Amino acid sequence: QVQLVQSGGGLVQAGGSLRLSCAASGYTASYSDVGWFRQTSGKEREFVAAISWSGGRTVMPGSVKGRFTISRDNAKNTVYLQMNSLKPEDTAVYYCAADPTGTDPHVPSYKYWGQGTQVTVSS
């Protein structure tokens, strides 16, 4: 059974930092591209970052570039999202996802999804 288990998140003041982790089990995620998405109530899931299976290529939108870093440790089957200089507009439920079904990492079409973790940034 494939599982993506997320950890991290919580409440932080604006300007603070958090690190999210996404650990895969029952699945060798080291051969899979992984993405992070976020979602707020009533809105579509928004692309946050993606990393290739080797870690050699990362993609993220301008809204988080320079503040967020995505990385992976394939020996631990884990992908990380380091979030710095957090803003209130970063408040959302964050999801990791593995093994995209398409070619565009921005599209939330992945085979496996984590359970989601709340990130709340207070002003």
Percent of the chain with pLDDT over 90: 78
3-state secondary structure of 31: helix
**Mean pLDDT for all residues in the chain:** 93
CA distance 34 to 96: 7
pLDDT at residue 59 tops 90:
yes
CA distance 113 to 79: 13
Q: Give the mean model confidence (pLDDT) for residues 25-48.
A: 88
Tokens linked to 61: 């939108």
Q: Give the mean model confidence (pLDDT) for residues 44-63.
A: 94
As a dihedral over the C-alpha atoms of residue 101, residue 66, residue 56, residue 24, rounded to 10 degrees, the angle is -50
What are the strands, taking DSSP E only, across 1-123?
3-7, 10-13, 18-25, 34-39, 46-51, 58-59, 68-73, 78-83, 92-100, 110-113, 117-122
Do 29 and 76 touch, CB atoms closer than 8 A? no
3-state secondary structure of 95: strand
Question: In sequence order, which residues have a C-beta less than 8 Å from that of residue 51 and are 6 or more positions away?
Answer: 33, 34, 35, 57, 58, 59, 70, 71, 72, 79
Query: What is the tens place of the pLDDT at every residue in 79-122?
Result: 999 999 999 999 999 999 998 888 888 888 999 999 999 999 99
